[in-house]
Structure 1
Amino acid sequence: MAEALGTRTVSGGSTNGSVGPAIPWQDRPAGSKALVWRHRENPVIPRAPMPGVQGIYNSAVTPFGDGFAAVFRLEKTDRFPRLHVGWSEDALDWQIEPEPVVFSNWTDAPSHYAYDPRVTAIDGEYIVQWCGGHNGPTISLARTKDFRTFERLENAFLPFNRNGVLFPRKINGNYYMLSRPSDNGHTPFGDIYLSESPNLVHWGRHRFVMGKGGDQVGQWWQRTKIGAGPVPIETPEGWVMIYHGVIDTCNGFVYSMGVAILDLDEPWRVLYRTNQHVLTPEAPYEVSGHVPNVVFPVAALHDQPTGRLAIYYGAADTCTALAYTNLNELIEFTKANSAVF
């Protein structure tokens, strides 16, 4: 089982965290030199955690009160993605609400899907970002303070867009959000952009951050598309952005995990970027499922005193898994094995 840490200073993305609950943790396996290693009891949430559910994955976890809250992508037997709230004392054993999120100011049509949420704690509230079907697919937003009442905001961008990830504090007085503009198909666009807003409603100054590819620097694992994952983590070295990179093989897509470090004041500027993946589908629950060969990082919990980092990821678009690393080691690896393009 996970090693108990007691109450620590933890955060869901920023080093400006407060005293909160202990994050999950297991030490690196004996004899292993892995930079990122898997939770021994993975998946932490199986594909069918309650009756009528066929998948729960690509979901957001954040410290909340004396424990943790989550917004899950959950699919029942209709395979239609919806957002469901979850609660946990240890971020491992979850109580999941059987009914989807309802917005106090908005009635979603039956055709309005919602998937791949992120949650950012900022300015005393929690902002949920997801790919929404209202005039979508594009980045939808909502705010909450208690994970029981949600106020829907207007969509951030025009269709088509995915992987919206909000930074955990304002930069130069504005909100900043990463995204991946796309089309209505599966992939044709695949680059990460950055947008800013004074109020979470009006977004502009869209800047290119980094692109898919890698052929010119001798790597293929991210050549088809990339997308931001967990809320960026603020460090003295810069914003640590964990992301997914995809290769299109003769047997389909393969999603792996990578890392980039962005400038603190100009986060569209990439300082370092891993020239290799740090986790790729190898475990049975990653290579086999509704969509084989997927490691899709979405949330990260950081214990500041120890540097421990717990990364939640969707496995094979089926279940929720967990991996561990040390943030300082992750930064040093990224700096030593970098190719910015």
Structure 2
Amino acid sequence: MTTVDTKPLKRITNNPILSEDDIPWDCMSVFNAGVCKWEGKYKMLFRTDSGSKEKPNARMTRIGLASSDDGYTWTVDEEPVFDQDKMRSWLKGEYAARFGDEELVRIYDPRITVIDGEIYLCFALDTAHGIRGGVARSTDFRNWTLLHISLPENRNMVLFPERVNGKIVRLDRPFPLYFRTKESFDIWISESPDGYHWGNHKLLLGAEEAECGNAKIGPGAPPIKTEKGWLTTFHAVTHNPDRNLGTWAHHGEWYKEYVAGLMLLDLENPSKIIGMSKEPLLKSEAPYELEGFRGSVIFPGGFILEDDNTVKMYYGAADTVVALAEGKLEDLLATIQPWT
């Protein structure tokens, strides 16, 4: 696959790899996908939004499934994994008896990790009483056992691809507002013996500690294991009220630039940061990243380490399409500077 020279990651030349034209149902965008390797193929769970480009309808958000032999060319299943009806049926025990169908708004922003030969899904869940993060498990990408739903307000959950000291480890991003004067949210880490029960919550990275942004941060894709530590992406936001970055949205103003950051966590104690890249791993440069529903947005969702030490990073671009950038593991590790 020919690539465009951008270090330490290189965008592939046939980006975006998935857009609204590839989806067999009506939608106006496809983005923020989770990607893993499963039974010899690449699998992707992706989000689509539908409705007008100026103001999509949250209750028409769907999660779709795509497959690929090489990680570059994708085939999309005809039926979504989750739409409004499937979501309600799946989660009816959580809310339906008390609040009815209007309580559940949508499932979105999937992340997928294979642990001990099973597929784990992390997702965001909008409800009438707050945004929650969820964890589920499957062996076929279609039938999911619900393990856990967090308290509001929380999202951006990702799981490590293997147990650490016998525990499943999770990164997430709660977003408390009561004591905050600006949008400045942090990355937390927790652990579970079984995926159902979570505890030992710790602050991993404060937003003020990420040099590639001046506002909120949050987990990106599930980490990859290297000899030097868990290589971990995150998203970081720079808010610049004097720079309108462009948007399709009905209000016509957008001032948040999202970039991909990179940090390295200790293998035995992933709540310990070893190092971090001071510069963004990837920031918006290409037209499909600069222009869309929200311009200048890079949102990592898949991070795959190949046998030849190539790393594939799948990311949402401009909240509109899915794109792919590649680099060598040694080049990514070389950007990491010691954490002090």
Question: Shorter-chain TM-score category?
Answer: 0.7 to 0.9
Counterpart in 2 of 1:179?
172
Contact 1:159 1:183 in 2 (8 A): no
Structure 1 residues not aligned, in runs of 5+? 3-25
User: Pick from 228, 245, 252: which aligns with 1:237?
Assistant: 228
- Using the size of structure 2 for normalisation, the TM-score is 0.83
Instruction: Check if 1:212 corresponds to 2:207.
Output: yes
Counterpart in 2 of 1:63?
37
Give CA-to-partner distance per residue, 1:75-96, whole Å, 9 cap, x none: 1225322322222223322223
* 1:33 CA drift (Å): 6.2
SS at match of 2:57: coil
The percent identity for this pair of structures is: 30
User: Pick from 80, 91, 96: which aligns with 2:77?
Assistant: 96
Distance 2:131 2:6 in 1: 40
User: Pick from 33, 44, 57: which aligns with 1:79?
Assistant: 57
SS at match of 1:154: strand
Q: How does 1:241-320 map to 2 (within 5 A)?
A: 241-250=232-241, 251=244, 252-304=255-307, 306-320=308-322
RMSD of aligned Cα (Å):
2.3
Distance change in 2, residues 1:260/1:127 (3 Å): same
Contact 1:160 1:184 in 2 (8 A): no
Distance 2:35 2:113 in 1: 9
Q: Displaced runs of 4+ in structure 1, greater than 6 A?
A: 184-187
Distance 2:192 2:218 in 1: 20
* 1:113 CA drift (Å): 1.0
Distance 1:214 1:203 in 2: 25
Contact 1:36 1:324 in 2 (8 A): yes
* 1:184 CA drift (Å): 7.1
Distance 2:185 2:39 in 1: 37
Counterpart in 1 of 2:213?
222
Distance change in 2, residues 1:39/1:174 (3 Å): same
Task: Specify the code of the residue in structure 1 equivalent to 2:111.
Answer: R
SS at match of 1:53: coil
Distance 2:236 2:286 in 1: 18
Contact 1:48 1:54 in 2 (8 A): no
Counterpart in 2 of 1:5?
none
Q: Across the two proteins, how many residue pairs are aligned to each other?
A: 305
Task: Specify the code of the residue in structure 2 equivalent to 1:326.
Answer: K
SS at match of 1:222: coil
- Using the size of structure 1 for normalisation, the TM-score is 0.83
Contact 1:54 1:79 in 2 (8 A): no
* 1:257 CA drift (Å): 1.1
SS at match of 1:79: strand
Contact 1:297 1:313 in 2 (8 A): yes
Instruction: Check if 1:46 corresponds to 2:49.
Output: no
Which of the pair is proportionally richer in helix? 2
User: Pick from 188, 192, 195: which aligns with 1:193?
Assistant: 188
Give CA-to-partner distance per residue, 1:17-41, whole Å, 9 cap, x none: xxxxxxxxx4x54xx4621111101
Distance 2:139 2:64 in 1: 16
* 1:97 CA drift (Å): 3.5
Counterpart in 2 of 1:331?
333
Distance 1:214 1:231 in 2: 20
Contact 2:62 2:80 in 1 (8 A): no
Counterpart in 2 of 1:8?
none
Counterpart in 2 of 1:145?
139
